[in-house]
Amino acid sequence: MIAIHKNAMRSVITVVLTSLLTTFHHVFRLGFGSLPMWMPFIMLPIGLAVLYKRSRFKNKWLLGAYALVSYVIIGWFGIVDGLFDHTFRVLGLDNITWLPGGEVEIVETVFRIGSAETSHWFFQITGSLVFVVSLFALYFTTRFIMSRLAFDAAKKSDQGKIQRPASPMHGESP
């Protein structure tokens, strides 16, 4: 059970970190006005994890909702945006997404770090960092979900076994 708690905590931390980095990355480009749009992606995994823990790790609907939200964050922000848009650009490859701004050479940002080109590269590198963190989130979330499902399956199979009382013939006390 301790492994489940460790995996759960690592999953929540890395999924929320993916969301926080994505928020920072997009607020850098779009400005503080876009901040409310990103808050659900930070709060939802935390809220679902807390509710699941309060259910004593028994509510499978909450586990499923947490898994769904986490994998959407990992898939959309980490893989589609982080890998296909930003990491590919950093590596000098063509962007293969349809996301807005993907067709321009230098992405304009609201905030600046020196020149427009420096800001552009900062934006691309922070997007790539989202991809890297999302890989950890993918690993820990999958470990958490799999360990929880394995624990539940083992518990269920143990409940089906008939418990025999200890036999005094074998030196065991009843």
Nearest to 138, CA basis, from 33, 17, 4, 1: 17
Residue whose structure tokens are 């945006």 = 81
Mean pLDDT of the chain: 83
Q: Crossing angle for the helix pair 35-54 and 60-72, nearest 10 degrees? A: 150
The stretch 165-174 carries a mean pLDDT of 52
Alpha-carbon distance of 140 to 135, in angstroms, equals 9
Are 144 and 14 spatial neighbours (Cβ–Cβ below 8 Å)? no
58-68: pLDDT as tens digits: 788 999 999 99
The stretch 111-135 carries a mean pLDDT of 86
Q: Which pLDDT value is given to residue 117?
A: 78
What is this structure's pTM? Answer: 0.80
71-122: pLDDT as tens digits: 999 999 999 989 988 898 888 887 666 655 555 556 666 777 778 778 888 8
Cβ neighbours of 32 (radius 10 Å): 9
Are 95 and 102 spatial neighbours (Cβ–Cβ below 8 Å)? yes
Q: Which pLDDT value is given to residue 59?
A: 82
150-164: pLDDT as tens digits: 887 887 776 656 555
What lies within 8 Å, CB to CB, of 171 at 6+ separation is none
The stretch 120-133 carries a mean pLDDT of 91
3-state helix, strand, coil in the chain (%, to 5): 75, 0, 25
